[in-house]
Amino acid sequence: MRKIYFYFMLTFIIISCDNKEDVNSKTQALNNPTQTYIINGDIEYISEITDGSKPKKPILVYDIPNYSDNNNTAYKSSEQSTFLNFHYGLYNPTKSGCTITRYLDSGKSFETDLGVYGPNPYPQINGYLVRGFGVPHQNPYYGALVLIASNKGRKVNTRRGVMEENQKRGSAISIEFPFAKNVSYEITIRTKFHDNRYLIDKKYSDGYPTVYVQLKDDGIITLPNLRDQNQDPCERKDLNEIGRYGIDNYKRSYTPDNGVEAIKDISFKFSPIIEKKALLVSLHPKMRTEGYGAIPINGHTMIILSITITEKPFDPSINVNIPEPVRRRYTID
């Protein structure tokens, strides 16, 4: 009996694997091949091949920045401010738990954790502990911290036929910082958004990315709404579930309204009524609302030069009254 049971189980496993491989091969057949480009040595951009040519080895592309304002430490304020500097290139090995593939000018590549943030905290140059999701890292050419987000369509076979879904990527960092209760804070990020699709494909991205800034109870980056709670934080997929839903006084967002590429300061205000212990900054691509319209193709790099946290007198008007959820009471007659 055991032999028969083992035979059927083995047959089921083999068939399941064959079906999975068959589904994967069919999915690949539905989509055009892609070409990988490497921007500034370690920023990956994947472009769809539509001219019938075959993929080549990763193609190296360089975008040398021209910072018109490098004086990041000139920020002055009458209130107490904390300046977090990210305007530097490679620093030290981080032992963060994540690595990145870096390419030399010769085309050779190597894996390294140099300047890479991951689930294990590592101090940035000012000493504040930083964690990462989706491999945020210090880029030597930009001389700054980079977050990356992108989206494109991917056709898949389903029971209802061939469907197209978002194939999204994103990244995030968290910084451990003591936010006191009954104190207001203004968080200013000096940054620049770069359109990777235009750099490679000479087509502007469909839409702009969204930055979410949140105050958290700790620096651990979690994905509460994902079905797969064991997702590898070093992967660059499915970050979209972080902080996208509901009204929250500890969450703010910003989306650029144009494609002008220039250094800018974007600010977010908070008035916590309970202590918070970390700042989370996440970058999300423009996506299609499920089932509506064409899937937007886009890819951006958020170049972060610095983050300034300024204490201000407590302003409760910043907060929104959030009603308590209605709890139904059931009685047994």
**Domain annotation covers residue 42:** no
**Domain annotation covers residue 289:** yes
Q: Which residue has the higher pLDDT, 234 or 165?
A: 234
Say which range, 23-32, 39-48, 81-90, 159-168, has the weakest mean pLDDT. 23-32
**Domain annotation covers residue 68:** no
Q: Which residue has the higher pLDDT, 180 or 23?
A: 180
Say which range, 46-60, 165-179, 283-297, has the weakest mean pLDDT. 283-297
**The predicted structure's pLDDT at residue 7:** 47
Domain that holds residue 147: 77-318
**The predicted structure's pLDDT at residue 74:** 41
pLDDT above 60: residue 19:
no
pLDDT above 80: residue 300:
yes
Say which range, 57-61, 67-71, 283-287, has the weakest mean pLDDT. 67-71
Identify the band that residue 313 occupies on the pLDDT scale cut at 50, 70 and 90.
Answer: very high
The CA angle 202-27-208, to the nearest 5 degrees, is: 35
pLDDT above 80: residue 182:
yes
pLDDT above 90: residue 160:
no
**Domain annotation covers residue 282:** yes
**Domain annotation covers residue 293:** yes
**The predicted structure's pLDDT at residue 31:** 80
**Domain annotation covers residue 264:** yes
**Domain annotation covers residue 8:** no
pLDDT above 50: residue 333:
no
**The predicted structure's pLDDT at residue 164:** 73
H/E/C letters for each residue in 249-282? CCEEEECCCCCCCCCEEEEEEECCCCCEEEEEEE
Residue % of the chain over a pLDDT of 70: 77
Split into its structural domains, the chain has a count of: 1
**Domain annotation covers residue 288:** yes
Q: Which residue has the higher pLDDT, 67 or 6?
A: 67
Task: Write the DSSP string, 163-198.
Answer: EEEEEEE-EEEEEEEEE-TT-EEEEEEEEEEEEHHH
pLDDT above 50: residue 49:
yes
Say which range, 18-22, 67-71, 130-134, has the weakest mean pLDDT. 18-22
pLDDT above 90: residue 142:
yes
Question: What is the overall mean pLDDT for the chain?
Answer: 82
Classify strands 34-39 and 59-61 as parallel, antiparallel or unpaired: parallel
Alpha-carbon gap, residue 333 to 327, rounded angstroms: 19
Q: What is the mean pLDDT of residues 216-222?
A: 89
